[in-house]
Structure 1
Amino acid sequence: MRIQEVIEQKLKDLNPDVLQVENESHKHHVPPNSETHFKVTLVSEAFEGFTQVKRHQRIYGMLSDELAGPVHALALHLYTPSEWEARGKARPESPNCMGAGQ
């Protein structure tokens, strides 16, 4: 199973309203078809009452095996449903890595 699929499967335990796991490895200086850099947008009621730090810690715990191995970078955009609505259902775009394409 691909790393992206493993991440998606694990995060489904949070019963997300929105779950987007994007492999952004192509934006970095890594071999083709790498699975090392990911961006996660997750909207869940499970985040109600938790700070951003606590939300991140929860995701880090859920993905500890992946973070200890193949995943080099993980951009997390974690929202409650009301926060997601207030943002206009939009998450920040990721910049290209300075070393990409070298």
Structure 2
Amino acid sequence: MADPTPAEVQSYIAAGLSCEQLQVEGDGRHFFATIVSTEFEGLNRVRRHQRVYQALGDRMREQIHALSMKTLTPAEAAAAPEL
């Protein structure tokens, strides 16, 4: 099975999670995602990451070796000048 591209990982996340903003970078094995979603409202960081893993499903175990994430609500993203 070929390693996924950042664009593929981005599409996998977008298919399972409503995102206002989504950016994925990586080298085919290790990825970094910045995800802004209203679905993160009221969730702590662990629950947010679990929600992303849920969106990725089995791909997280089978195709994606490592995924680092920055998970933000729209309000948090608006307050973050680097986004």
Give yes or no for TM over 0.5: yes
Instruction: List runs of 5+ in structure 2 lacking aligned partners.
Output: none
Which of 16, 20, 31 is the equivalent residue of 2:23?
20
Which structure shows the higher strand fraction?
2
Task: Return the index of the structure with the highest Cα Rg.
Answer: 1
Instruction: List runs of 5+ in structure 1 lacking aligned partners.
Output: 26-34, 91-102
Which structure shows the higher helix fraction?
2
Aligned residues: 80
Measured against aligned partners, the alpha-carbon deviations of 1:8-55 in whole angstroms (never above 9, x if no partner) come to 2222242311100111x3xxxxxxxxx100000010111111111100
- Pick closer, same or farther for the CA change 1:10–1:19 going to 2, 3 Å: same
Is 1:76 the counterpart of 2:69? The answer is: yes
Runs of 4+ in 1 over 3 A off after TM superposition: none
| 1:16-55 equivalent positions in 2, closer than 5 A | 16-23=19-26, 25=27, 35-55=28-48
Using the size of structure 1 for normalisation, the TM-score is 0.67
Q: Report the Cα distance in structure 2 between the residues aligned to 1:62 and 1:6, rounded to whole angstroms.
A: 13
Using the size of structure 2 for normalisation, the TM-score is 0.80
- 2:57: which partner in 1? 64
What root-mean-square deviation, in Å, do the aligned CA atoms of Structure 1 and Structure 2 show? 2.0
Q: CA deviation at 1:89?
A: 4.2
Measured against aligned partners, the alpha-carbon deviations of 1:28-87 in whole angstroms (never above 9, x if no partner) come to xxxxxxx10000001011111111110001111222322212321101100001101111
